[in-house]
Amino acid sequence: MSPAPLPSSWTTTPSGKTRARGLGLPLQGLCGPDNAITDVAGVSVGYSTIVKGEGALVAGKGPVRTGVTAIVPRPLDAIHEPLFAGFFSLNGNGELSGTHYIEEAGKFSLPITITNTHSCGITRDATIRWAAGHMGERYHDDFSLPVAAETYDGFLNDINGFHVETRHVLEAIGSARGGAIEEGSVGGGTGMKCFGFKAGSGTSSRLVRHDDHEFTVGVFVQANFGVRTHLTVLGRNLGADPDLPQMQANTRDMELGSIIAVIATDAPFLPHQLKRLARRATFGIGRTGGLATHGSGDLFLAFSTANTGLGGGAIRHVRFVPDEDIDPFFEAVAQATEESILNAMIANEDMTGRDGNFVPALPHAAVRRALGLEAE
């Protein structure tokens, strides 16, 4: 008997781009309904994508290949409610703001933004501006340390043109939705590359059974890391294949690469446990061939939506999964991180940016051939 067909949201993005499972990759684990971080109830994702101009770089004018991603961890009417969180830096050549407070207090609030390296500050500040306007009197005399992260898109983008503005951040937050989301060259991932191929935004999820409950672990990555020869897909090294297309550059590729991973779950965990979950993104990255090189900012944040009422004013009671039962969640993070990276590369297209710099998409047929899958 033939296996049941996979849900369409597992195999294609809303715009019809092929995802890793749509390519026939036999990935491990059971996904949530949309195989996305948004499978965690209350979590939404929005984008602002900025693509304009062709030809030679003129600083301040373009070409522009960048944007902003917003991950909203709670429904907007509860966005001021803190969430337990944990942070891990595999290699620190990057930025993820708000982590000093997360290390100190184990919690954060407000939307998470991800963009290019030189726009990280404006997305942080614009998030505060959004909060002050959205929350009104609830925000009076308050302060914020929002999470803003970055990876470097200067190979394709006029990164010193500072094209990300407050309005793009507000657009990303305002467009955040649940359900199936786009992947590839969208939002903050617009100008990113991975292992010498076009990459950017990717997501995946896993379901975990514990104590008669079914929990969801969702991952979102902005993938912009890796050396071509290290690319590995399901245990097969593809990067050394001489038949795969190469990047073409009229400017020096500085090989400045990073990956931001955001892990969400509705399972009840304490901050130290979420830090442990964040560490396990390392294994998903390693499965694809990532080595956390010196120039890479490999920064991971994990948060739980399960416990509420974490502010001051009273004794609080919280729930948590015992540490002794955490291993299936570790596995879920590793699996979903690996698939998120593959989705970021597979649900993508060739891109030409500043000075004619060209990054090819990962050829679907070559991936299938290397893995011994039947031809389309």
Evaluate whether 83 touches 305 at the Cβ level (below 8 Å).
yes
Pairwise CA distance, residues 86 & 278, whole Å: 7
What's at 375, amino acid-wise?
A
Whether residue 258 lies in the annotated active site: yes
Structure tokens, 312: 């001051």
Evaluate whether 80 touches 183 at the Cβ level (below 8 Å).
no
Pairwise CA distance, residues 63 & 274, whole Å: 39
Strand order from edge to edge, sheet including 258-265 = 107-108, 83-92, 297-304, 258-265, 213-224, 201-210
What's at 326, amino acid-wise?
I
Q: Which of 207, 309, 177 is nearest to 267 (CA)?
A: 207
Cα Dmax for the chain:
64
Whether residue 298 lies in the annotated active site: yes
Pairwise CA distance, residues 125 & 210, whole Å: 39
Residue with tokens 């914020």: 144
Catalytic residue among 201, 258, 304, 340: 258
Structure tokens, 333: 């993070």
Catalytic residue among 158, 205, 298, 304: 298
Other CB atoms within 10 Å distance of the CB of residue 143: 6
Catalytic residue among 97, 296, 304, 340: 296
Structure tokens, 316: 């609080």
Evaluate whether 345 touches 338 at the Cβ level (below 8 Å).
no
Pairwise CA distance, residues 37 & 180, whole Å: 9
Whether residue 89 lies in the annotated active site: no
Evaluate whether 344 touches 199 at the Cβ level (below 8 Å).
yes
Pairwise CA distance, residues 308 & 311, whole Å: 9
For the annotated catalytic residues, the residue numbers are 258, 296, 298
